[in-house]
């Protein structure tokens, strides 16, 4: 089962006081998911490590801006997402991010754990994930990695919940379609 921040007792209140142990616990909890998310967006190891480090530093400096302790995870991912956008801007790939989607049907209700992938198909899954556009890949990664709600994904990516819903649906549909082209049964 997916273990997410909502069910965890994270020492966010202690971190607000500058307690290094609290920060260590928080960073230890999120470092790998954060790295995964950033890497799957930028695809460069050193850039990813830099962004993770910048995100951690920014978090320690701006923890006062976090309104709800329970939203620490999405707040941290939001910082990382902004860093990714800054990286794309430097690389001149901002237009890809601002890509607007047309009308899309209603999102499917499937959760991140509804996708079960066989070991021999894992490489295909990763390859298909890379075929999605960055905005779609971002919402899908946030959905898969941390099971963030639509509202939280909206806060992270700076998009309206309706847009997030559409993107998530489109991303899932596109991934499923690509998947079915390669495999008869995605589950």
Residue ranges in contact with another protein by CB under 8 A: 2, 17-20, 23-24, 27-28, 31-33, 35-36, 39-40, 45, 48-49, 52-53, 56-57, 60, 112-113, 115-119, 122, 125-126, 141, 144-145, 147
> From the CB of 114, what's the least distance to another protein, in Å?
9
> From the CB of 27, what's the least distance to another protein, in Å?
4
**Nearer of residues 62 and 89 to another protein, judged by Cβ:** 62
**Nearer of residues 89 and 182 to another protein, judged by Cβ:** 182
**Nearer of residues 31 and 133 to another protein, judged by Cβ:** 31
**Nearer of residues 53 and 160 to another protein, judged by Cβ:** 53
Q: Residue 149's closest CA among 138, 139, 136, 135?
A: 139
> From the CB of 82, what's the least distance to another protein, in Å?
18
**Nearer of residues 88 and 115 to another protein, judged by Cβ:** 115
> From the CB of 53, what's the least distance to another protein, in Å?
5
> From the CB of 33, what's the least distance to another protein, in Å?
7
Cα distances from 9 to residues 68, 91, 171, in angstroms, run 13, 39, 32
Q: Residue 93's closest CA among 59, 138, 53?
A: 138
Gap between the Cα atoms of 43 and 36, Å rounded: 10
**Nearer of residues 18 and 65 to another protein, judged by Cβ:** 18
> From the CB of 118, what's the least distance to another protein, in Å?
6
Q: Which distant-in-sequence residues (6+ apart) come within 8 Å of 43 by Cβ?
A: 130
Gap between the Cα atoms of 165 and 44, Å rounded: 28
Phi/psi at 148 (nearest 5 deg)?
Answer: -65, 150
Element (H, E) at 52: helix 45-61
Q: Residue 82's closest CA among 49, 101, 58?
A: 58
Query: Which DSSP symbol is given to 106?
Result: P
């Amino acid at each position: 089962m997916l273990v997410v921040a909502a069910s965890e007792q994270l020492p966010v209140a202690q971190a607000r006081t500058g307690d290094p142990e609290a920060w260590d616990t928080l960073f230890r909890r999120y470092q790998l998911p954060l790295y995964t998310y950033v890497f799957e967006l930028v695809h460069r190891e050193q850039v990813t490590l830099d962004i993770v480090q910048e995100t951690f530093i920014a978090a320690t400096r701006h923890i006062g801006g976090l309104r709800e302790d329970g939203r620490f995870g999405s707040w941290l991912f939001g910082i990382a997402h902004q860093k990714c956008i800054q990286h794309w801007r430097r690389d001149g790939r901002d237009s890809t991010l601002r890509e607007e989607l047309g009308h899309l049907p209603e999102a499917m209700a499937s959760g991140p754990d509804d996708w079960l992938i066989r070991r021999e198909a894992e490489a295909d899954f990763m390859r298909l994930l890379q075929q999605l556009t960055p905005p779609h890949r971002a919402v899908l990664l946030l959905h898969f990695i941390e099971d963030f709600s639509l509202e939280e994904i909206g806060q992270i990516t700076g998009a309206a919940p309706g847009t997030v819903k559409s993107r998530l649906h489109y991303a899932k549909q596109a991934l499923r379609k690509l998947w079915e082209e390669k495999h008869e049964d995605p589950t």
